[in-house]
């Protein structure tokens, strides 16, 4: 089935979560939870194990964006990289980068302003 914005917008929650699949790509789908949240998911198989990668929430992530994100994740899988592991690596790199840049800036600010304070 062709995933249109109207179709996805009008998808109502049911007793159990259900999937709305894209006819072009069977491993991309929108999961509608019983509570009504809608999340884009991508199923893949790597190292003999099945995996599911969440691409984002609808409507914040449009069908076109979800296809692009799925293609990006599929490229990682083809290279033997788990998409979730890549996300964790990027998050760790960001934490390390900001951990190493925040304190030197704070020290410089403290040094510049310490003469302006009273006892």
Q: List the chain domain ranges.
A: 5-81
Measured from the Cβ of residue 38, the count of other Cβ atoms closer than 10 Å reads 19
Show the CA angle centred on residue 64, arms to residues 14 and 78, nearest 5°.
Answer: 95
Task: Express each pLDDT in 64-116 by its tens digit.
Answer: 898 899 999 999 999 998 888 887 887 888 777 777 777 778 888 888 898 88
Choices 3.30.160.390, 1.10.1200.10, 3.30.420.40, 3.40.50.300: CATH for 5-81: 3.30.160.390
What average pLDDT does the segment 44-54 reach?
Answer: 89
**Residues ≥6 apart with Cβ < 8 Å to 77:** 44, 45, 46, 83
In whole angstroms, what is the distance from residue 56 CA to residue 54 CA?
A: 6
pLDDT tier for residue 1 given thresholds of 50, 70 and 90: low
**Is 7 within 8 Å of 59 (Cβ atoms)?**
no
What is residue 31's predicted lDDT score, i.e. its pLDDT? 93
Q: What is the pTM of this model?
A: 0.71
CA–CA separation, 77 vs 114, rounded Å? 52
Any idea which of 13-22, 40-49, 90-99 has the lowest mean pLDDT?
90-99
């Amino acid at each position: 089935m062709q995933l249109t914005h109207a179709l996805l917008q009008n998808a109502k929650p049911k007793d159990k979560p259900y999937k709305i699949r894209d006819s072009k790509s069977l491993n991309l789908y929108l999961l509608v939870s019983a509570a009504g949240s809608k999340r884009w998911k991508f199923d893949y198989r790597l190292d003999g194990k099945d995996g599911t990668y969440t691409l984002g929430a609808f409507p914040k992530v449009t069908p076109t964006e979800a296809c692009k994100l799925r293609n990006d994740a599929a490229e990682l899988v083809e290279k033997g990289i788990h998409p979730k592991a890549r996300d964790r690596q990027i998050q760790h790199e960001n934490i390390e980068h900001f951990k190493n840049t925040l304190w030197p800036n704070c020290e410089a600010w403290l040094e510049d302003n310490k003469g302006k304070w009273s006892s």
